[in-house]
């Protein structure tokens, strides 16, 4: 499965940024395979559990990504 690899990331003091490698979108694909791969990605965990080390945003909406033992 191809993943968008980070090319650059940083903090300029006002904003945090992340630049990912472009992955071309396909019009048609193997949706069953895509579903299995997404399920596999979401079933993996770290010793921290599920979450992220910082708050993210969807537009103006603040998303709390605190670490949890389960989804």
Question: Are 66 and 45 in contact, with CB atoms under 8 Å apart?
Answer: no
Confirm whether 28 is domain-assigned: yes
Confirm whether 42 is domain-assigned: yes
Confirm whether 69 is domain-assigned: no
Confirm whether 29 is domain-assigned: yes
Residue tagged 């993996």 (tokens): 44
**Tens-digit pLDDT profile for residues 18-45:** 998 887 776 677 889 989 998 988 787 6
**Tens-digit pLDDT profile for residues 49-68:** 888 888 889 888 999 988 88
Sign of CA dihedral 57, 62, 67, 69: negative
Percent of the chain with pLDDT over 90: 23
Counting the structural domains of the chain, the total is: 1
CA 17 to chain centre: 14
Residue 71 reports pLDDT greater than 80: no
Confirm whether 43 is domain-assigned: yes
Confirm whether 70 is domain-assigned: no
Confirm whether 71 is domain-assigned: no
Q: What is the pTM of this model?
A: 0.36
Sign of CA dihedral 23, 49, 8, 58: positive
């Amino acid at each position: 499965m191809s993943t968008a690899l980070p090319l650059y990331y940083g903090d300029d003091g006002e904003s945090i940024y992340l630049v990912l490698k472009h992955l071309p979108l396909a019009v048609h694909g193997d949706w069953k395979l895509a579903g299995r791969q997404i399920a596999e990605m979401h079933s993996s965990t770290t010793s921290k559990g599920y979450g992220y080390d910082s708050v993210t945003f969807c537009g103006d909406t603040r998303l709390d990504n605190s670490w949890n033992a389960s989804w």
